[in-house]
Copies of this chain bind each other. A is one copy, B any other.
Amino acid sequence: MPVSDSSDGSVWLRRERPPRDRQLSRGQIVDAAVPVLDAEGHRGLSMRRIAADLGVTAGSLYWYVRTKDDVLELALDRVLGEVGADPDEPDWRLGLAGLARNTRTMLLRHRWALLELTVRPNLGPNAFTLAETGLRLLSRAGFADADLDAAMATVNDQVVGAVIAEVAWRDTLTRMRRSGVEWSEHATTLYLRDVAERHPLLARRMAAAKGSDAERDSERRFEFALTCLLEGLAATCRAGADNAAVSP
Using a CB–CB cutoff of 8 Å, the interface residues on chain A facing chain B are: 1-3, 5-9, 12-15, 41-43, 115, 118-121, 128-129, 131-132, 135-136, 139, 145-151, 153-154, 156-162, 164-165, 168-169, 171-172, 175-176, 179-181, 185, 187-188, 191, 195, 198-202, 205, 208-209, 217, 220-221, 224-225, 227-233, 235-236
CB-based contact A132/B199 at 8 Å: yes
- Which residue of the partner chain B has the closest CB to A231? B232
List of B residues within 8 angstroms of A168 by Cβ: 118-121
CB-based contact B231/A235 at 8 Å: yes
Other CB < 8 Å A-B pairs besides A1-B42, A131-B199, 18 of them?
Answer: A1-B115, A3-B171, A7-B181, A9-B185, A120-B168, A128-B195, A132-B200, A139-B201, A145-B208, A150-B221, A150-B225, A154-B162, A157-B164, A158-B161, A161-B164, A228-B232, A228-B235, A231-B236
**Chain A binding surface SS class:** helix
The distance from the CB of A195 to the nearest CB of chain B, in whole angstroms, is 6
CB-based contact B165/A157 at 8 Å: yes
The distance from the CB of A122 to the nearest CB of chain B, in whole angstroms, is 9
List of B residues within 8 angstroms of A231 by Cβ: 231-232, 235-236
Q: A176 vs B4: C-alpha distance in the bound complex, in angstroms?
A: 10
List of B residues within 8 angstroms of A2 by Cβ: 43
List of B residues within 8 angstroms of A1 by Cβ: 41-43, 115
Q: A120 vs B176: C-alpha distance in the bound complex, in angstroms?
A: 12
Contacts A13-B188, A201-B135, A224-B147 given: A165-B156 contact, CB under 8 Å? yes
The count of identical subunits is 2
The distance from the CB of A244 to the nearest CB of chain B, in whole angstroms, is 16
CB-based contact B121/A220 at 8 Å: no
Q: A5 vs B175: C-alpha distance in the bound complex, in angstroms?
A: 7
A-B pairs with the 5 shortest C-beta distances? A232-B232, A161-B161, A157-B161, A150-B224, A228-B232
List of B residues within 8 angstroms of A229 by Cβ: 154, 158, 228-229, 232
Contacts A231-B236, A232-B235 given: A160-B153 contact, CB under 8 Å? no
CB-based contact B224/A172 at 8 Å: no
Contacts A7-B180, A188-B13 given: A154-B224 contact, CB under 8 Å? yes
List of B residues within 8 angstroms of A165 by Cβ: 118, 153, 156-157, 160
